[in-house]
Amino acid sequence: MQLIKKITATVIFLATSIVSMAQDAKPVATNADSSLDADTMLVVCIGLLAIVIISLANTLLFTMKYYKEKIRVEKEASNTGLKAVMLIALSLAGLSAMAQAPNLVSNTVVTEHASAFRMILYIIVGLEMVVIFLFTRMIKFFMKSEYPGMVKVVVKKAPIININFKKVWDKVNQFKPIEEEASVDTGHSYDGIHELNNVTPPWFKVAFLLSIAVAIGYLYRYHVAKSAPLPEEEYRIEMAEAKEQHDEFIKSQKSNVDENTVAMLDADGIAAGAALFKSNCVACHGAAGQGGVGPNLTDEFWLHNGGIKDVFKSIKYGWKEKGMQAWESTFSPVQIAQLASYIKSLKGTNPTGAKAPQGEVYNEAKDSSATSKVVMDSASTTGK
Amino acid sequence: MELQKFTYDNRMPRNFAIATVLWGAVGMLVGVLAAFQLAFPSLNFGLSFTTFGRIRPLHTNAVIFAFVGNGIFTAVYYSLPRLVKTPMWSNKLSRIHFWGWQAIIVAAAVTLLMGFTSGKEYAELEWPIDIAITLVWVVFGINMFGTILTRRERHLYVAIWFYIASWVTVAMLHIVNSFELPVSFFKSYSWYAGVQDALVQWWYGHNAVAFFLTTPYLGLMYYFLPKAAERPVYSYRLSIIHFWSLIFLYIWAGPHHLLYTALPNWAQSLGTAFSIMLLLPSWGGMINGLFTLRGAWDKVRENPVLKFFVVAVTCYGMATFEGPMLSLKNVNAISHYSDWTIAHVHVGALGWNGFLTFGMMYWLIPKLFRTKLYSIKLAATHFWIGTLGIILYAVPMYWAAFRSYFMMKAFTPSGQLQYQFIDIVQTVVPFYILRAIGGTIYLLGVFIMVYNLVKTAKQGNFLAFEDAEAPALEKKYKSPSGSFWHSVIERKPIMLLTLSLVVVAIGGMVEMVPTFLVKSNIPTIASVKPYTPLELQGRDIYIREGCYNCHSQMIRPFRYEVARYGEYSKAGEFVYDHPFQWGSKRTGPDLAREGGKYPDSWHFNHMLEPVSMSPGSIMPNYPWLYDNVLDIGSTNSKIHAMRKMGVPYPEGYESIAPSDLKAQATAIADGLKKDKIEVKSDKEIIALISYLQRLGRDIKTDTTNYSNK
């Protein structure tokens, strides 16, 4: 009876802890920061291992009780009592550590020390494994202690739940009772290996025929009835949907920029552009825009004109033959405007190691289409 | 009837067993290195022969052909003589087989690390080794059939059916897939190009899994599992059903590795349909294995051999359930090119092949050395460690696959890709670490086994020749009335061989013949031109360095792939690709339209030190490409070989090719000079850059998408 009580108690505890953990984990999973994902998984790992630890702890307590009883008969209770207390303390410590783990996640994920945090998670996983190992050893130790009957006590209780299942299982497979095996013996003996001729499980035959039907249906659907889209058609549908979504998005935007309407942004816009530049452009254009693989962006020489609209265009569509890739599928128009503004703001900064001039001098005043004097409010363009 | 006396030679199974364990440990160690390299690129050591692109083929070849291969031979050389009650037919052939196979393995290891590769997955070995494999395989076949034909047992047991079908199918696969035109002693070009090469390759690749990793091991299971459990095999008729349906259906499923690619749609659909039908025949083996243990489950609790077998068969069931699921189009869209596939194969490889081999070893070695296993406890430890290793390997890979898939296809509301490829790479690196740890744990288990087996062998004494006796077969045989029709096939091995060949040949022919002969399957594109000599040389460097291990060259028709890589790939673009380089895994981005994406100087810096151009990259450095001088002397024979295979280089172009090559190389070097990069035009890196810049540029496509219209 006590065992059942304990099991229910554990189940309740586990259920609550899983629920609480799931709640804690949710914001982590939806967070866009990609590096957090590994942490989520580690936390789940920790949770799962904790479940194992709890069940082991229960088994351990159970086996210890028997052990203690046996010892009491031998009147040597004092020593093991201490051991038991220690064990309980140990498992409790494990449990409380686990309970804290989800909290840890939600607090630390925001910080930049994700790698240190992950190290801690790795260590917790490691510690949990050690605990599992120790628990199993201890259970073994207690089980072995001249109580061979004990294992059977556990086993005997189980069949109450299993009986029906076993019957169903036997029926589903059309099992012959093992005692009647001789009736299906083929009489073959290959190096002592005998072969029975049991019937193929009926579910197997049904499922096999079914899978053949599904396969024929599959081919029929795609190539005879043509009622399901083949890859190229699927692609067309997907792109049409994307276009629809995109059109709607454009409509919903109050203001949208392209190479005809773009204008220099304010300081916030330039700062946003600087951040984008740092993470995407420095490989070719240098950390300060001094150039490298790509041209110098800080002088007045431009390969494809240097107006804000020209720079916007160069970023958006790229100059493929010269190695500048098109960024329009990576950046939004606003982001491109921010980048263009940042680049324009670099003029005359004279960074060290500047690349030699390329292209022609670009004269802003002469270019009638340039409107870089107009400063747009970056807040209105970002649509926030 | 007079009993004839004879002896089984146990030295062969012993030798093969030693080779299995040894190569297994080596192959897995290399695998662990490869796994750690993906997390810590510095482990590539900046040396050509320790770089991932060469290490990974070494790992796959070692565990498939050295570990599992020797495992198959161990099983055959032990079980076959006993099942047909006669010693192996020829001692000499046995020895040639053993030493031949080991020599091939050593040659494979050396050549793969040196960069001699045909560039086709799991068939990387170059033509002289391919020929050697064929010869040794034939020796094995003669020896096996010699044994079977001189048997003292009228009917062949199901294990032998599997051995025979495996032998003949592997022979067919190997020969057809290895059609290649040598240009020098260690360089050849696949006879097939582009789509056709892809079809043949995955017909081979898929069925190497089927007929090298699966069917011979089913034979192994059918012998060792009932032996260890001391139980009769569950169902003879199930054996018949699943044997024939399995070998017939398996061969068709290859194209499911090419869903959403430029392979003709009808072939893709056939691959999927036959994969669906394959589920139950595969499970037939699992059912027969597990049900054989009926009434022996109490033994499973104590006997480590049976523990290993149970998990192996269960893993087989899981992997063969997952397989058909993965070949459904919508699932494959997620799994293809991702770590999911890696997880899938390792459940099969570590679980099914690994554990079945370990179980066999724990049973066989004590038998051969007439003793008990040194430590059952250690074997049990190995079992638990191995299981933990498999879980720790597979779970992070599944997680990584889903995570990267959702990142790949994420668009911002304004229609831009939300993540750069490098963001995704950095997300999965922690999973690579966990996976590597899982693999290390599994390998640790193998070391424990090695110790245990060595100790076992030491405490026993080897029985080299085992006496046995059996009556000879009578010349005339009359089958008892009412005997099952299939028993006729079971007593006619040549008929069994022929039928197997016919059954496995059908699928491949139906899929390949139309793809080769019907022109509409691969519409030609006029603007697609052959590679220039320099590009061709660059392509060979690309193949040599094993770039295809991490980079695909096949853009699937999905919005997120087109947005990320450019217009989706068309069948006609690959007609001059001998061999095709579509790849099967994207650890790095697709390169099908890499040409013109970045300047030459970007590639120059990137190949030297990828993180300098792409911070956070896990790609290795390739410093030797900047020292090695391109072997221009081979241009002649390469152009010649290509023309022989139908690439339309003009007659006599060989004589002009070297000067064309030099001119193009000089132009690239001059261009780099403008970007302050000084490099001699005769270095290998120049050729590689020229190839990378050519990729995907032949068709002019409207690369602008809807977002700017």
DSSP for B478-497 reads -PPTT--THHHHHT-HHHHH
Lowest mean pLDDT segment, chosen from A106-120, A182-196, B264-278, B442-456 = A106-120
Which chain B residues contact residue A333 at CB under 8 A? Answer: 414
Which run of H or of E encompasses B6? strand B3-9
Residue A103: predicted pLDDT: 41
pLDDT at A76 > cutoff 70? no
Residue A7: predicted pLDDT: 53
Q: Which two tokens stand for residue B685?
A: 């890196």
Q: Strand, helix or coil at A189?
A: strand
Residue A112: predicted pLDDT: 44
Short-list B69, B70, B30, B65, CA closest to B51: B30
Give the closest of B232, B559, B598 to A325, CB-based. B598
CATH classification (class only), A267-382: mainly alpha
Short-list B12, B1, B368, B10, CA closest to B152: B1
| Mean confidence (pLDDT) of chain A | 74
Q: Model confidence at B459, in pLDDT bands (50, 70, 90)? A: very high
pLDDT at A78 > cutoff 70? no
Its sign, for the CA torsion A359, A361, A366, A372, is: positive
Residue A70: predicted pLDDT: 72
Residue B442: predicted pLDDT: 97
Which chain A residues contact residue B554 at CB under 8 A? Answer: none
| Strand A360-361 relative to strand B187-190, pairing | unpaired
Helix spans in B178-231 (H): 194-208, 215-229
Average pLDDT over residues A35-45: 71
Burial class of B510 by CB neighbour count within 10 A (0 to 12, 13 to 18, 19+):
middle
Contact A222 B396 (CB under 8 A): no
Which chain B residues contact residue A186 at CB under 8 A? Answer: 236
Q: Model confidence at B184, in pLDDT bands (50, 70, 90)? A: very high
Which chain B residues contact residue A204 at CB under 8 A? Answer: 238, 280, 283-284, 287
Lowest mean pLDDT segment, chosen from A87-101, B272-286, B566-580 = A87-101
- The Cα–Cα gap between B226 and A248 comes to 66
pLDDT tens digits along A272-316: 888 888 888 888 888 888 888 888 898 888 888 888 889 999 998
pLDDT tens digits along A231-283: 999 999 999 999 998 888 877 776 678 888 888 888 888 988 888 888 888 88
Average pLDDT over residues A120-138: 83
Most confident of A364-378, B442-456, B594-608: B442-456
- The Cα–Cα gap between B656 and B654 comes to 6
Q: Model confidence at B188, in pLDDT bands (50, 70, 90)? A: very high
Residue A353: predicted pLDDT: 80
- The Cα–Cα gap between A234 and A223 comes to 14
Q: Model confidence at B700, in pLDDT bands (50, 70, 90)? A: low
Residue B474: predicted pLDDT: 86
Q: How close A198 gets to chain B, by Cα (Å)?
A: 5
Residue B170: predicted pLDDT: 97
Residue A145: predicted pLDDT: 55
Residue A110: predicted pLDDT: 38
Contact B232 A195 (CB under 8 A): yes
Average pLDDT over residues B552-563: 96
Interface size between A and B, measured as CB pairs under 8 A: 201
Average pLDDT over residues B578-595: 95
pLDDT at B532 > cutoff 90? yes
Residue A6: predicted pLDDT: 53
Q: Model confidence at A163, in pLDDT bands (50, 70, 90)? A: low
Residues of A211-225 as b/e, b for ≥16 C-beta within 10 angstroms? bbeebeebbeebeee
- For residue A282, what is the nearest residue in chain B, using CA coordinates? B613
pLDDT at A108 > cutoff 60? no
Q: Model confidence at A349, in pLDDT bands (50, 70, 90)? A: confident
Region(s) of chain B under CATH 1.10.760.10:
533-700
Which chain B residues contact residue A290 at CB under 8 A? Answer: none
Determine the length of chain B: 709
Average pLDDT over residues A104-115: 44
B3-473+485-511: CATH superfamily: Cytochrome c oxidase-like, subunit I domain (1.20.210.10)
Give the closest of A186, A322, A330 to B599, CB-based. A322
Most confident of A5-19, A160-174, A335-349: A335-349
pLDDT at B693 > cutoff 60? yes
Residue B706: predicted pLDDT: 33
As a whole number of Å, the CA-based R_g of chain B is: 26
CATH classification (class only), B533-700: mainly alpha
Whether the Cβ atoms of residue B71 and residue B446 lie closer than 8 Å to each other: no
Average pLDDT over residues B3-11: 95
Residues of B42-68 as b/e, b for ≥16 C-beta within 10 angstroms? ebbeeebeebbbbbbbbbbbbbbbbbb
Short-list A239, A210, A228, CA closest to B269: A228
Lowest mean pLDDT segment, chosen from A309-318, B129-138, B247-256, B278-287 = A309-318
Give the closest of B226, B232, B615 to A185, CB-based. B232
- The Cα–Cα gap between B129 and A70 comes to 68
DSSP sequence for B109-136: HHHHHHT---SSTT--S-HHHHHHHHHH
pLDDT tens digits along B80-131: 999 999 999 999 999 999 999 999 999 999 999 999 999 999 999 999 999 9
pLDDT tens digits along B309-350: 999 999 999 999 999 999 999 999 999 999 999 999 999 999
Residue A24: predicted pLDDT: 43
pLDDT tens digits along B627-683: 999 999 999 999 999 999 999 999 999 999 999 999 999 999 999 998 889 999 999
Q: Model confidence at B255, in pLDDT bands (50, 70, 90)? A: very high
Contact B559 A216 (CB under 8 A): no
ipTM rounded to 2 decimals: 0.91
Q: How close B232 gets to chain A, by Cα (Å)?
A: 5
Residue A162: predicted pLDDT: 52
Its sign, for the CA torsion A254, A259, A264, A265, is: positive
pLDDT tens digits along B8-63: 999 999 999 999 999 999 999 999 999 999 999 999 999 999 999 999 999 999 99
User: The whole model's pTM is what?
Assistant: 0.81
Region(s) of chain B under CATH 1.20.210.10:
3-473+485-511
| Strand B180-184 relative to strand B187-190, pairing | antiparallel
Whether the Cβ atoms of residue B340 and residue B401 lie closer than 8 Å to each other: yes
pLDDT at A87 > cutoff 70? no
Residue A224: predicted pLDDT: 93
Q: How close B13 gets to chain A, by Cα (Å)?
A: 16
